């Protein structure tokens, strides 16, 4: 949920309700929101990371049953407490991409959500920034990293290549791609300008880093590399037709092997 879309007290109430219905099964995620959408509704903050961190701190305190008074730039509460705080407090994760946001997640949240594409090199880079924030805040409690990753169990990787062709041209994922250390190669791909041309020109090893696609062994290898890089949870996002069939293949042919080895 975008931090600026709701009052922090309202967010805490909604999270608490779901957590009470499904104790131990619910995880809350807070992010900046799509900037164009936040601007469209008059809620785009001048200091997005500060808005995110103030909201996260207030929501976590409210979920813990505290009575909260705070007077920040974006969150102002006076003697606010939930009447029905959850018995099992759900973790609150931040969906962020860049260094300031990642360090804020380390300081203020229970975990971090990394959106696709999050290749292993980016996961390691992101965790370093999260750890810097945790160290600055003196935190030693668990911090969970959840990674969203596109993929498809299919030896023919054309569907995935098409998705990646558009993704490489998307400026919003620049931080994720920069961590690969392949800037000249990526610049050459972007110069093609056409997503279909980019899709056809993507080197196979770059496809392996940006998606979990191909044979069961290829998919398992890409997911295993994410786990080795520090992903605690991987949200597999199937691309192409038959997403339900893809999730079935993932459960039947990939997940048992990945779980058994890690």
Task: State the CATH number of the domain containing residue 252.
Answer: 3.20.20.30
Q: Do 118 and 238 reside in the same domain of the chain? A: yes
Cα-based distances in Å from 252 to 248, 249, 256: 6, 5, 7
Counting DSSP H helices and E strands in the chain, the numbers are: 13, 8
**According to the model, what pLDDT value does residue 214 have?**
95
- Is residue 148 one of the residues assigned to a domain? yes
Single residue among 90, 125, 147 that ends a domain in this structure: 90
Q: Do 31 and 118 reside in the same domain of the chain? A: no
Q: Which domain holds residue 6?
A: 1-90
- Is residue 254 one of the residues assigned to a domain? yes
**According to the model, what pLDDT value does residue 253 have?**
87
Q: Do 41 and 68 reside in the same domain of the chain? A: yes
**According to the model, what pLDDT value does residue 153 have?**
94
**According to the model, what pLDDT value does residue 163 have?**
96
**According to the model, what pLDDT value does residue 258 have?**
63
**According to the model, what pLDDT value does residue 109 have?**
98
203, two tokens = 């080197």
Contact 253, 166 (CB under 8 A): no
- The residues, any chain, with a CB within 8 Å of residue 254's CB and separated by 6 or more, are 153, 216, 219, 220, 223
- Is residue 199 one of the residues assigned to a domain? yes
Tally of structural domains, the chain: 2
- Is residue 102 one of the residues assigned to a domain? no
Q: Do 79 and 126 reside in the same domain of the chain? A: no
Cα-based distances in Å from 47 to 4, 72, 146, 252: 11, 12, 25, 45
Residue ranges of the chain with per-residue pLDDT less than 70? 258-262
């Amino acid at each position: 949920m975008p931090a600026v879309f709701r009052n922090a007290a309202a967010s805490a109430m909604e999270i608490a309700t779901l957590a009470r219905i499904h104790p131990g099964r619910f995880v809350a995620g807070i992010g900046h929101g799509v900037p164009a959408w936040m601007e469209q509704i008059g809620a785009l903050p001048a200091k997005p990371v500060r808005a995110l961190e103030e909201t996260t701190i207030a929501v976590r305190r409210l979920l813990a049953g505290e009575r909260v008074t705070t007077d920040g730039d974006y969150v102002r509460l006076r003697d606010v407490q939930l009447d029905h705080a959850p018995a099992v407090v759900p973790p609150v994760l931040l969906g962020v991409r860049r260094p300031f946001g990642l360090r804020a997640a380390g300081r203020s949240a229970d975990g971090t959500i990394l959106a696709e594409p999050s290749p292993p090199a980016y996961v390691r880079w992101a965790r370093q920034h999260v750890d810097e924030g945790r160290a600055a805040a003196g935190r030693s409690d668990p911090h969970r990293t959840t990674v969203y990753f596109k993929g498809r169990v299919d030896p023919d990787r054309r569907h995935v290549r098409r998705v990646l062709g558009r993704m490489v041209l998307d400026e919003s994922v620049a931080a994720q791609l920069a961590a690969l250390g392949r800037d000249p190669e990526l610049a050459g791909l972007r110069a093609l300008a056409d997503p279909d041309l980019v899709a056809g020109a993507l080197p196979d090893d770059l496809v392996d880093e940006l998606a979990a696609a191909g044979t069961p062994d290829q998919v398992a290898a890409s997911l295993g590399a994410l786990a080795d890089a520090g992903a605690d949870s991987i949200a597999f996002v199937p691309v192409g037709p038959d997403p339900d069939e893809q999730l079935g293949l993932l459960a039947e042919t990939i997940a048992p092997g990945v779980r058994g080895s890690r």
